[in-house]
Amino acid sequence: MRKRKFFLLLIIVLLWHVDTIEAQDVAEKKINIIVIGAHPDDCDNKMGGTAALFAKMGHHVKFVAVTNGDAGHYTKGGGALAKIRRAEAEEAAKRLGIDEYTVLDNHDAELLPTLAIRNDLIREIRNWNADVVLTHRPVDYHPDHRYTGILVQDAAYLVIVPNVTPDTPPLKKNPVFLYLQDRFQKPYSFQPDIAVDITSTFNKKMEALDAHQSQFYEWLPWTSGRLADVPTSKEDRMKFLVNIWSRTVSPDVRESLKRWYGPQKGENIKYAEAFEICEYGKQPTDSELRVLFPMLNK
């Protein structure tokens, strides 16, 4: 027992040092990004490239899946499937180089905007000391996406209210909230207020999707009747992913790229991810956005 106490003491001393180092991180303006998607693969698919860029630059990125994905398969389900998807999410995080991938234990396809889940998200955002929060718009094809959007909207502002979830200290300031890109037009189409060049991390993003084997090689092909088309070799699989999941840069995202990267560079960017500013968080200026998205300055 004495030995144990000694080690614990030593650990405490060291953690102190680490904390000090962490404090230096802040001094160096490390950005804390939290991405909140509905299922364990949504964050990857919608902002995996940008996340990998942030990670490469030493910033702190966390992915959160609000549901455990326990419905997304044609022969598996329940807790058994949830365990597979959690492991896939952890592998994806490793491949992207991000800090954490938390999978909340709510049923897939049954998400509702309850107070309990809203409060869990408030805690996630606070504990990450988030500067930027990203999520789905409340218009999207899957009800879980829509309700995830609503839950995060409902968390905005409350993250600074100390009487809300008082077990977790409030943020000092309301973060910037951003929406992930989608293709829906009503009641208005996605506005690419920011667009990030992800060409350099595009392969990492595809590697992250590849980690979600139960999704990109099983469930999603099944839903579109293409299960037979899924290749088996790693090389072919990567081509298969690129083929299906690399979005062409749309005209309005191209405009945004030009705005942020200059007309010439913007014109030639191959892969991009775009984000829309949510009105319920901090409304940043362009120069504040360049601080929060330092890759826009390169």
* Interacting residues toward a second copy by CB under 8 A: 1, 3-4, 7-8, 10-11, 14-15, 17-18, 21, 58, 68, 70-83, 86, 103-105, 107-110, 112, 114-116, 118-119, 139, 141-143, 146, 153-154, 156-158, 160-168, 184-188, 223, 279-280
Minimum CB distance to a second copy smaller for 103 or for 132: 103
Give least dist CB 34 to a second copy, A: 18
Name the minimum Å distance from CB 243 to a second copy.
21
Provide, rounded to whole angstroms, the least separation between the CB of residue 193 and a second copy: 12
Distances (CA, A) of 159 to 85, 170, 173: 29, 6, 8
Q: How far apart are CA 206 and CA 78, in angstroms?
A: 27
Nearest distance from C-beta of residue 71 to a second copy, angstroms: 4
CA distance 1 to 3: 5
Q: With respect to a second copy, which residue has the nearer C-beta, 120 or 197? A: 120
Nearer to a second copy, 86 or 237 (CB): 86
Shortest Cβ 112–a second copy spacing (Å): 7
Whichever of 18 and 297 has its CB closer to a second copy, that residue is 18
Nearest distance in Å: CB 261, a second copy? 26
Q: Is beta strand 272-277 parallel, antiparallel or unpaired with respect to 194-197?
A: antiparallel
Smallest gap from Cβ 287 to a second copy, in A, equals 20
Q: How far is the CB of 282 from a second copy (least distance, A)?
A: 10
Query: How many CB atoms neighbour CB 255 within 10 A?
Result: 15
Which is closer to a second copy, CB of 82 or CB of 198?
82
φ, ψ at 247 (rounded to 5°): -75, 135
Angle, vertex CA 80, rays to CA 78 and CA 86, nearest 5: 100
Show the tokens assigned to 32.
Answer: 């804390």
Q: Return the number of the residue (90 or 238) whose C-beta is nearest a second copy.
A: 90
Nearer to a second copy, 83 or 258 (CB): 83
**Measured from the CB atom, is 193 or 273 closer to a second copy?**
193
